[in-house]
Chain A
Amino acid sequence: MTDLVGHFLIFTIVATVLLVVPLLVGRLVRPWLPTEEKDSIYECGEPTIGTSYIQFDLRFYVVALLFIIFDVEVAFFFPWALVFGGATQLMDPTLSAEARSGLTDKLLNLPSSGLAEPISAETAHTLALTGLCDILVFFGVLLVGFAYVWKRGDLDWVRAMVVHARQARTNSTSLLIPRGGSASGGPGGTTPRETAVVP
């Protein structure tokens, strides 16, 4: 891994140096005439009103939090997928002895071929089924959470619209929502006026 870390460090340095070079070359040829107007923030030519460091919408935070949770979950999938993939390959009863021993060494992380007894198709089947149950429970629990969040409307980006649509549905006035079925916040269910709240 020293190799990887060393490379990453050197790559960072090389990239930084090679990006700085055109900037330094540019310093020789480019103008530098700052004026107050030039240094101000661009707001379509108007004088800037207020600061831009404002309080932002909460839903960005919720989405980020949701997805970091999913990120953690996906990170757990990676090693699991390696083992499960190896196990399903070993399940194939038509596998040649050579390939079976190669896959066994790979799966069990053994140094060289021929040291371990190759994993039989039956053992691999048990292993794969264990893996399946393992991931179904793991994934299932998370999907319950996802379904809960979905149901409670935390995934709806434009909530005003959804509330609006729900009210419209309960009043059974189909005038507001022409396509009554697609009121769940999908692209079909939006009307131009309501999208004004989109940041």
Chain B
Amino acid sequence: MDATTILFWIFASISCAAAVAVVATQNVVRMAFWLIVSLGSVAGLYFLLSADFVAATQLLIYVGGTLVLLIFGVMLTATGPYSQIRTSPGEALLAGGVGSLFLAMIITTVVSVDWDSLAAIQQQDPSYASYAHEPGFNPAEEGNTARPLGLKMLGISLEDLGRTDGSLSHGYLLPFEIVSIHLLVVLIGASYLARAKRRSRPDQPS
């Protein structure tokens, strides 16, 4: 086994174990902590897939930001000590059933794909092959994805370079702008909700 495989197994098992711990824990803040561990290991998996930018974003936003939000959320709702969440056996059974159905679906999907022939098809496809083996300016070990991603945000796809049949892809120019609208909606929604809460208790300002 090479280092990548070993690291994959380590991080995959950490993220699965932490995910199970999220469900099994009853204390909300511990749940948030295990969630962070799980999300952090997913960032490790992204790094292993050479998606350095996405992985760092995952760390910055989920691990650094979401926990803060979660804890504040807990603080807003918490009334009893440690705000325990107890599940009744019926709920546990239902959740277990839905969870195992979903797991079964994923497993069937993974098993039903013939990975060897897929790899062969990908090797035959010239555009995929050149893309996959494109070493890029930096060695892949140092990360290669940030600049192609940035160019895509300007509507330029590096896969199109030298392509003459006019079948250009559009990059992510439109999604990029839509993201900003989306964030605006979230921003205004958040401040609206905060105000709605405040209005309901006019006798207690702030």
User: Is B69 an interface residue, CB under 8 A from the partner?
Assistant: yes
A5 near B187 (CB under 8 angstroms)? no
Taking CB atoms, residues of chain B closer than 8 Å to A79 are 53, 146-147, 149-150, 153
How far apart sit A54 and B147, CA to CA, in the bound complex (Å)? 46
B61 near A71 (CB under 8 angstroms)? yes
State which of B73-81, B87-95, B97-105, B118-126 sits at the interface with chain A.
Answer: B73-81
User: Is B179 an interface residue, CB under 8 A from the partner?
Assistant: yes
User: Is B205 an interface residue, CB under 8 A from the partner?
Assistant: yes
Known interface pairs A65-B69, A82-B146, A127-B154; A73-B180 also in contact (CB < 8 Å): yes
How far apart sit A109 and B50, CA to CA, in the bound complex (Å)? 15
How far apart sit A29 and B194, CA to CA, in the bound complex (Å)? 52
Decide if the interface of chain A is mainly helix, strand, loop or mixed: helix
How far apart sit A96 and B95, CA to CA, in the bound complex (Å)? 65
Decide if the interface of chain B is mainly helix, strand, loop or mixed: helix
How far apart sit A141 and B146, CA to CA, in the bound complex (Å)? 23
Taking CB atoms, residues of chain B closer than 8 Å to A82 are 146-147, 150
Taking CB atoms, residues of chain A closer than 8 Å to B50 are 1
**B-facing mask of A99-143, CB < 8 A → 1, else 0?**
000000111111100001000000000010011001001110110
Q: Find A65's partner among B10, B149, B158, B190 (CB 8 Å cutoff).
A: B190
Residues of A within 8 A of B (CB-CB), count: 67
Known: A68-B66, A68-B69, A82-B146. 16 other contacts (CB 8 A): A1-B49, A1-B50, A53-B82, A55-B76, A58-B197, A59-B206, A62-B191, A62-B194, A72-B61, A78-B53, A78-B146, A86-B147, A107-B151, A134-B176, A139-B180, A142-B180
Q: List the 9 closest A-B pairs by CB distance, nearest first.
A: A79-B150, A83-B150, A56-B75, A145-B187, A159-B206, A141-B180, A61-B72, A62-B194, A79-B149
The interface of chain B, by Cβ under 8 A from chain A, is 3-4, 7, 10-11, 44, 47-50, 52-53, 55, 57, 60-61, 64-66, 68-69, 72-73, 75-83, 134-138, 140-141, 143-144, 146-151, 153-156, 158, 161, 173, 176-177, 179-181, 183-184, 186-188, 190-191, 194-195, 197-198, 205-206
